[in-house]
Structure 1
């Protein structure tokens, strides 16, 4: 078999009869409770390599911050005293959650195309037959759609890269090839037929990547380090076909670039140069080697890509003693002497006893300019340090840049940044230089959500953005600006925000102006995390396989999608919120789909990333499905008569999660990153072989379009 190069093997396309895995892989407001283990449908490999088995470790957030349920109890008590007046006031607040004229114009049923849309077949408006839950070893899309794998692990990125050979891999070769476990997908258009694909490489699955006995532990660690990071890859449309994209051989390959675990980064913002960022190798505290565990991200209006460093804690360990001066910070970020990866045995910088400040140099939002391949990428300290899923930008009417972010851990928080300086439109060099500095100065906030009580029959309420610091002044008692930015979790704990169920991707909708957050799950909701109006489910219904009986499991296993309406725009201090989706099987009593009939929606579990098309429809990718199917990507209108109509657009191969998604080029192309296909197996005994080009699975990025 050979690598894919602009064509799709029959086994990779989707419709009925696609390949299966080579072996079997291992109405409103119910507050439900039962028993169950923490890992749900995730394989042991996902839990180990993605987050370092976070569910098996003590929860980092021990702040004891108030849950929304406490506020709800107080509100209910007030209503008992005040009668209908309080309820009426709550209804007035929610009246602000209105559909804007832009949303009405761009709604699911709108007849006219919004500005920028391209006539023709569009995934934003065209009907499709939803993909049924399945356990295929294929990327499965609706009938009438085609797909192509654009790039996969080991494909050449840098011109002159050596041919990939899984039996003779080296760190030097890995640093020139497409990395492992592609996550975020960004596409920077160069013309109507040419673009740059920018992709994260989050983590490595050593048991799937390496044949047993071919490599030493030292060699595996060195190759794995170079397989992390990001790729910038020139792509083009080879024909007039609307959605067909392939790797490019044009002069644009001059932009091709691999960013690895050893690529030099510049540190900027108020914490740059602080003593807590200094190491033996970098006494300036302003230069870091590499980026690790890059999860989601965002593409900025000025044409750069933001990437979030997420579960960085798992790369550090020591055989020595952890310095007492760092112990509290380490605990809050889940850093311990134990490390399954053992990187501290190869590099001193990952040894906590030898270089205790090195972990402080990870957990940031990084910015990469795909159009400047010789320019070092930047780590922005002003956006805070935590387990970033990503960062996504809105431009406020006053031209301030607003970034929304989530901290992906049980019980952690939602964040917002507002720039000091203002955005300049235009693509000239001076405007781009100015805009690339906008994330260096500003104000960082954390969110507190307040429920209005359950009597109105919906999960909703109001919210407040609590200031943590500006680039010059801290608002957190006893902490300097640098302390707030380096230990953002500890700073936020002091300010009383709302503990959420794994807030991952948080993105503003460019059509209706609302902000949507994927809250993936929390198996401990209802035990160590009491239920509240923003996080209500304490018992989820799950399936072991498609068609299997629904059974009860403890906690919030299927997750939510949170919808927030800013009050006074993106720079205002408050917002109104509601749960758009309470995910799961539509047959389960706890599920909710914005009021849309439950017998007309697709099952959806564990929302991870969100995106939008030009009509403002929400697209959701999932990770960790516990209702008997592979993960997938779903289209959800958020306005009009079909609001809440969840439809499964594609499902991933066995063992994989769906990353992205990204809707581009006039709503005619859907990009998806297929991460960790075959996870749960080994190189010798794989449970899946997608994309069916070799005798082992390969993570890759694909495009889907209507034939």
Structure 2
């Protein structure tokens, strides 16, 4: 979710019995929060614990503290750091090349027309590369080959920017002014794309006419599986059985399963529906999920009854899910896996527990919402891909509670146990799946500062969580894991599952945790930022969003918000262990108004695919754009795109 969208949603989705809004618009918590240690004490306790975990004196200088001597800037990150920019072009560190692979409007299906920005049509958009690409997943061809020069690229397309598609529209008035034909274009231009890509020795190219090429949109039929399938709240006039839904939208990040399917995450339905949710029988549930009659930003409800709260009150319940898609089979129907819970899904990172069960880590990207993990009921089958087809329909969903003693408890959300009973609105497992946020409220999960990226380091097995920001958290709302009020810059947490015999147990009920980075400008004491003391004036960042790791375990952090600080969003690289722990270096800066997202690597770590989302989104109208990246041609709007990053000498990225 972009920071602009988050600001529009800031007051939505909070339970009225726990939060209230002051006359100045600040969100306050009605009940007392867990008392957090003073910031300096918390950081020092964290450092002490890290020293015990790593057994390294270097760990003790991982975060800078007032009055402590800076450590030497030793790091595995080898490129010369990029200088900060606020530019209409993109920039990359010296020694690296970047190439545009595919842009909004380029061909995906063989019969797609050429991009014509003066004549956008839904028929063309349904066959072209969509707008505002986010998640990227590289899948080798053939399946299971591990090849790094030939594969499929799966791409999410999160949302449209109508003000950058047609003259005369602004971000604020597009929903009310767009014609039916324009609304149809916005619907066709989002969802997902599958393309085939190959490095033929002359660089990466999209393979034309690929049999794998596919576009998925809000009109694509999808199966509803798991405990919510057939539930009364999932039934509509068009689908009286509640088992088939048309499409997906607001697809943000996601993940990839061990058997090579993609988990595409729906990150909210609020903003896509018209009408007044308060006038429906599900007003309280819709409000907890952010529904607001003022948020019809795309005008869909003006022309489609299913996107109007009052005309089809159950349709909204059919979104905010994780969608499993098989890129290797273009005929396979996408499936909404309701056992993974319903909330504003930012991601779905998969890892395998020692007993073979699959664990999916997920973050609910709203202020004061939660972190989740799902543990499958049975192990996956590496020898039989088809046997894993419905593996994610059975298992246990958990929500995180952070304790002040630097432990974390995963609280199971099981219908019929504890407070999750019929008396509290959970009469069956489908109720729990559809009302996941309400279940998490009841069991006492820890409210978080807008959690987004949630990824596992493939080398160490530790998890890292990006908390993007929370400007509305008050001093009496802080907790051990969210220690600043307000928190406009965000922070990163590190979670440590237990290990036995050298095997990390991601299915365990209790983890350790600590604060990895407190974002902001370390030169400003009021920011209370914490990094490695050798962090440069170009290396610190704010608003962490997507997190990825290269095969050697270096962390890549995409930001979502720094234009407020006078420089572009960017991609930073850092170590999570050793002398360079928590020492970020600026690597890539996309053009004005954009963020980079969805970083993903080929298995050999020598190619990095990266999304450039919403370039020029800071423009008021199409007639006054702040950039025309990447074409820079009159009459051609800024175009979201996927870029390919390679090291000039062909070596691994990041070194």
TM-score normalized by the length of structure 2: 0.85
The CA deviation string for residues 542-561 of structure 1, in whole angstroms up to 9 with x for no partner, is xxxxxxxxxxxxx2111111
2:70 is aligned to: none
The CA deviation string for residues 249-288 of structure 1, in whole angstroms up to 9 with x for no partner, is 3x6x100000011001111111111111010101111111
User: Are residues 1:55 and 2:6 paired?
Assistant: no
Verify the 8 A CA contact 2:180 2:303 in the aligned structure 1.
yes
Q: Which moved more, 1:214-223 or 1:186-195?
A: 214-223
Verify the 8 A CA contact 2:419 2:442 in the aligned structure 1.
no
Question: For 1:446, which of 358, 377, 399 is the aligned residue?
Answer: 399
User: Are residues 1:336 and 2:301 paired?
Assistant: no
Identify if the C-alpha distance between structure 1 residues 96 and 131 changes in structure 2 by more than 3 Å, giving closer, same or farther.
closer
Question: For 1:634, which of 561, 572, 575 is the aligned residue?
Answer: 572
Cα deviation for residue 62 of structure 1 reads 4.9
2:484 is aligned to: 537
Verify the 8 A CA contact 1:204 1:224 in the aligned structure 2.
yes
1:580 is aligned to: 516
1:21 is aligned to: none
The CA deviation string for residues 313-361 of structure 1, in whole angstroms up to 9 with x for no partner, is 111121x674442011011011123323221111010111111000000
Verify the 8 A CA contact 1:587 1:598 in the aligned structure 2.
no
Question: For 1:432, which of 385, 394, 399 is the aligned residue?
Answer: 385
Identify if the C-alpha distance between structure 1 residues 501 and 51 changes in structure 2 by more than 3 Å, giving closer, same or farther.
closer
RMSD across aligned positions (CA) = 3.0
User: Are residues 1:374 and 2:310 paired?
Assistant: no
Deviating runs (4+, > 6 A) in structure 1?
Answer: 65-68, 90-93, 472-475
Distance 2:589 2:134 in 1: 16
1:154 is aligned to: 105
Distance 1:330 1:521 in 2: 24
Task: Give the total of aligned pairs.
Answer: 596
Identify if the C-alpha distance between structure 1 residues 570 and 210 changes in structure 2 by more than 3 Å, giving closer, same or farther.
same
Verify the 8 A CA contact 2:352 2:359 in the aligned structure 1.
yes
1:706 is aligned to: 647
Distance 1:691 1:289 in 2: 33
Distance 1:584 1:91 in 2: 19
Verify the 8 A CA contact 2:455 2:465 in the aligned structure 1.
yes
1:547 is aligned to: none
Verify the 8 A CA contact 1:468 1:474 in the aligned structure 2.
no
1:691 is aligned to: 630
Question: For 2:89, which of 129, 138, 142 is the aligned residue?
Answer: 138
Alignment of 1:208-223 (within 5 A): 208-212=164-168, 217-223=179-185
Cα deviation for residue 56 of structure 1 reads 5.3
Question: For 2:198, which of 236, 253, 268 is the aligned residue?
Answer: 236
Distance 1:68 1:448 in 2: 16
* Alignment gaps of 5+ in structure 2: 20-28, 60-74, 142-146, 500-504, 649-655
User: Are residues 1:308 and 2:265 paired?
Assistant: yes
Structure 2 residue matching 1:535: 3-state secondary structure: coil
Question: For 2:151, which of 160, 173, 195 is the aligned residue?
Answer: 195
Cα deviation for residue 597 of structure 1 reads 3.1
Q: Which moved more, 1:359-368 or 1:608-617?
A: 608-617
* Alignment gaps of 5+ in structure 1: 1-38, 80-87, 105-123, 453-460, 539-554
Structure 2 residue matching 1:494: 3-state secondary structure: helix
Question: For 2:218, which of 253, 257, 261 is the aligned residue?
Answer: 261
1:247 is aligned to: 206
1:602 is aligned to: 539
Cα deviation for residue 658 of structure 1 reads 1.1
Verify the 8 A CA contact 1:257 1:373 in the aligned structure 2.
yes
Distance 1:276 1:216 in 2: 31
1:280 is aligned to: 237
Distance 1:328 1:398 in 2: 40
The CA deviation string for residues 2-61 of structure 1, in whole angstroms up to 9 with x for no partner, is xxxxxxxxxxxxxxxxxxxxxxxxxxxxxxxxxxxxx9xx8xxx63xx458112557457
Alignment of 1:352-501 (within 5 A): 352-426=309-383, 431-452=384-405, 461-469=406-414, 476-477=420-421, 478=424, 479=426, 480-501=428-449
Verify the 8 A CA contact 1:269 1:441 in the aligned structure 2.
yes
Cα deviation for residue 217 of structure 1 reads 1.5
Verify the 8 A CA contact 1:656 1:675 in the aligned structure 2.
yes
1:227 is aligned to: 189
Cα deviation for residue 309 of structure 1 reads 0.4
2:130 is aligned to: 179
Cα deviation for residue 591 of structure 1 reads 4.6
Distance 1:56 1:71 in 2: 24
Distance 2:539 2:382 in 1: 40
Distance 2:117 2:230 in 1: 41
Verify the 8 A CA contact 1:181 1:202 in the aligned structure 2.
yes
Question: For 2:160, which of 187, 194, 204 is the aligned residue?
Answer: 204
Verify the 8 A CA contact 1:586 1:602 in the aligned structure 2.
no
Identify if the C-alpha distance between structure 1 residues 444 and 61 changes in structure 2 by more than 3 Å, giving closer, same or farther.
farther
1:4 is aligned to: none
TM-score normalized by the length of structure 1: 0.79
Distance 2:55 2:246 in 1: 45
Identify if the C-alpha distance between structure 1 residues 510 and 308 changes in structure 2 by more than 3 Å, giving closer, same or farther.
same
Distance 1:68 1:368 in 2: 42
Structure 2 residue matching 1:162: 3-state secondary structure: coil
Structure 2 residue matching 1:614: 3-state secondary structure: coil
Distance 2:325 2:441 in 1: 30
Distance 1:70 1:145 in 2: 47
Structure 2 residue matching 1:507: 3-state secondary structure: strand
2:554 is aligned to: 617
Distance 1:54 1:192 in 2: 40
The CA deviation string for residues 439-461 of structure 1, in whole angstroms up to 9 with x for no partner, is 11000011111123xxxxxxxx1
Identify if the C-alpha distance between structure 1 residues 572 and 306 changes in structure 2 by more than 3 Å, giving closer, same or farther.
same
Distance 2:52 2:443 in 1: 27
Identify if the C-alpha distance between structure 1 residues 260 and 239 changes in structure 2 by more than 3 Å, giving closer, same or farther.
same
Verify the 8 A CA contact 2:77 2:573 in the aligned structure 1.
no
Verify the 8 A CA contact 1:586 1:599 in the aligned structure 2.
no
The CA deviation string for residues 171-212 of structure 1, in whole angstroms up to 9 with x for no partner, is 111100000100111111114421111110000000001234
Structure 2 residue matching 1:315: 3-state secondary structure: coil
Cα deviation for residue 93 of structure 1 reads 10
